[in-house]
């Protein structure tokens, strides 16, 4: 990393990043408006939460529901309106990364860091749908910027107050903001300026403001049996075999896709090559590592112990983008340009996939990847039409995703939609309303799972087949059709069995109306 012999004025990088992020924002908004994809289950769930503003919901803090409430209040209830905030929030996050890089080193580093973030494959995908990661990122990135300003003695009381505000707002977005608090604690241990800034009255002010913002959410949890916290614990899935070293390979592959292949390999290489560096820049690097390594190490351990979704490491990568920019931006920046080029290519492919109409994806073998965002409107129309024809008093489904898909696309319905409870209490937001009289008088069961139908049958005195609803979702690469099949029953005399292990064991291996295997798949065609 040699010094550049022809430095570019900082104002040039500032103009370039404004132009680049502005162009990306326009393209991403156009992509959201043009997307043919229906809502996936989590987006539909967040929309449902946003119908009533609360301080918490069954499985997540409230910020994402508040954001959807705002955009749909302004623009109406449309898929694009629900997703519209995603590209805006990621653009804000990238702009804050630029400001942090400029404050830590120079505008050149900030430029590369912001683009590395904005062109991350995971950010490109997350800009096309609304997720809790997308809502969290602006607050996380603002936290990095404000903490660095506070460490540098800039802004002082204002920086401290704003830092407390973004930490509190981040906690209302996703509990992964806890990693930020771990990062602060680690920087206090290794960095004297940060320690002086945090262990002061300004640090107390930031803590008080963060606490005041989070307090209503904690009170909501306490009043609702800690529903959000318990779901987060369930998500960890720390049961059964707690040693799966093979998962480390899938974790590694996931991170190549999250941060970008060249970017992630550059991060690992940099960690090995630059670990002994000294000087002021090295202190910046160690400071950023406090917000990177705990996330990566913790999620790697979680993957080995049980399982870990690829996006659980998302909060490591704003700091990682800054770190790589600091490492490589002062020289010829070949690694940075390579990272940006590969990410741009991968991102263009991802963006193209989200914009392809259903008729074009079959030949490319992409139907299976898109099936969770297809056919819900048709499913809702046909299932509710059958319920009306059969004189049902309610519709009962046996899958969380089905409940959310039908819930959104039949949002103007009069007939109640209930999610069947397999366990003694609700295990998802969709199960929050139990099936009770008088709704249980004549129930249309729309079942997606052959293995659950014997259990469902045991809850009713009369349980008669009433046909099927079949929704075409495309074809697999081997030519087999992808079909969402609702097996319909009319259930009467609802008397749910006691949810015990013995009750579950009675039905092991039983199925009703399983779909026959595809001949092509069965014979290896």
Domain range list for the chain: 10-355, 371-522
Q: Given this model, what pLDDT does residue 237 score?
A: 53
Instruction: Report the C-alpha gap between 457 and 449 in whole angstroms.
Output: 13
**What tens digit of pLDDT does each residue of 325-354 get?**
998 887 778 888 899 999 888 888 878 888
Q: Given this model, what pLDDT does residue 232 score?
A: 63
Q: Given this model, what pLDDT does residue 174 score?
A: 96
Q: Given this model, what pLDDT does residue 333 score?
A: 81
Instruction: Report the C-alpha gap between 285 and 491 in whole angstroms.
Output: 63
Gyration radius from the chain CA atoms = 25
Kind of pairing, strands 394-397 and 460-475?
Answer: unpaired
The ranges of the chain with pLDDT < 50 are 1-5, 521-525
Instruction: Report the C-alpha gap between 464 and 488 in whole angstroms.
Output: 9
Q: Given this model, what pLDDT does residue 234 score?
A: 58
CB 400 within 8 A of CB 419: yes
Q: Given this model, what pLDDT does residue 524 score?
A: 44
Q: How far is CA 468 from CA 65, 137, 316, in A?
A: 34, 43, 46
For residue 364, give the nearest of 386, 349, 376, 381 by alpha carbon.
Answer: 349
DSSP state of 303: H
CB contact burial 397-430 (16+ within 10 A = b; e otherwise): bbbbbbbbbbbbbbeeeeeebbbbbeeeeebbbb
**What tens digit of pLDDT does each residue of 28-78 get?**
999 999 999 999 999 999 999 999 999 999 889 999 999 999 999 999 999
CB 149 within 8 A of CB 197: no
Q: Given this model, what pLDDT does residue 477 score?
A: 86
DSSP 141-200: HHHHHHHHHHHTTSSTHHHHHHHHHHHHHHHTT-GGGHHHHHHHHHHHHH-HHHHHHHSS
**What tens digit of pLDDT does each residue of 240-282 get?**
556 778 888 999 999 999 999 999 999 998 888 765 556 666 7
Residue that the structure tokens 């390579």 belong to: 338
CB 186 within 8 A of CB 294: yes
């Amino acid at each position: 990393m040699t010094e550049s012999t022809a430095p570019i004025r900082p104002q040039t990088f500032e103009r370039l990043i404004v132009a680049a992020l502005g162009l990306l924002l326009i393209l991403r908004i156009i992509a959201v408006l043009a997307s043919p994809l229906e809502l996936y289950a989590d987006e539909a769930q967040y929309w449902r939460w946003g119908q009533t503003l609360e301080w918490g919901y069954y499985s997540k803090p409230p910020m994402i529901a508040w954001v959807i409430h705002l955009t749909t209040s302004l623009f109406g209830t449309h898929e694009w309106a629900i997703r519209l905030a995603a590209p805006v929030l990621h653009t804000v996050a990238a702009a804050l990364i630029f400001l942090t890089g400029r404050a830590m080193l120079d505008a050149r580093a900030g430029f590369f860091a912001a683009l590395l973030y904005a062109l991350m494959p995971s950010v490109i995908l997350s800009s096309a749908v609304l997720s809790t990661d997308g809502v969290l990122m602006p607050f996380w990135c603002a936290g990095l910027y404000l903490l660095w300003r506070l460490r540098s003695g800039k802004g002082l009381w204002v920086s401290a107050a704003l830092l407390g505000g973004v930490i509190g707002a981040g906690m209302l977005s996703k509990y992964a903001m806890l990693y930020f608090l771990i990062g602060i604690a680690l920087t206090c241990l290794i960095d004297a300026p940060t320690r002086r800034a945090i262990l002061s009255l300004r640090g107390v002010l930031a803590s008080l403001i963060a606490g005041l913002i989070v307090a209503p959410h904690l009170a909501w949890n306490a009043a609702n049996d800690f529903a959000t916290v318990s779901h987060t614990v369930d998500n960890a899935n720390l049961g059964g075999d707690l040693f799966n070293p093979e998962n480390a390979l899938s974790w590694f592959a996931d991170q190549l896709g999250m941060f970008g292949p060249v970017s992630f390999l550059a991060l690992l290489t940099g960690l090995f090559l630059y670990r002994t560096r000294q000087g002021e820049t090295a202190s910046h690097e160690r400071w950023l590592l406090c917000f990177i390594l705990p996330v990566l190490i913790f999620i790697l351990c979680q993957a080995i112990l049980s399982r870990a979704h690829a996006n659980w490491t998302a909060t490591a990568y704003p700091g990682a983008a800054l770190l790589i920019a600091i490492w490589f931006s002062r020289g010829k920046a070949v690694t940075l340009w390579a990272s940006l080029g590969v990410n741009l290519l991968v991102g263009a492919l991802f963006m193209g996939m989200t914009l392809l109409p259903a008729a074009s994806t079959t030949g490319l073998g992409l139907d299976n990847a898109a099936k969770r965002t297809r056919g819900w409107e048709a499913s809702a129309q046909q299932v509710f039409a059958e319920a009306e024809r059969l004189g049902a008093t309610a519709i009962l489904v046996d899958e969380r995703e089905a409940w959310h898909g039908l819930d959104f696309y039949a949002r103007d319905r009069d007939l109640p939609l209930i999610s069947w409870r397999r366990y003694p209490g609700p295990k998802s937001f969709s199960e929050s309303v139990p099936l009770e009289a008088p709704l249980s008088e004549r129930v249309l069961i729309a079942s997606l799972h052959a293995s659950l139908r014997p259990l469902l049958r045991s809850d009713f005195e009369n349980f008669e087949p009433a046909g099927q609803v079949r929704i075409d979702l495309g074809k697999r690469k081997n030519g087999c059709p992808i079909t969402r099949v609702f097996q319909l029953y009319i259930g009467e005399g609802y008397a749910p069995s006691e949810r015990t292990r013995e009750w579950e064991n009675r039905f092991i291996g039983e199925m009703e109306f399983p779909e026959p295997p595809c001949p092509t798949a069965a014979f290896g065609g």
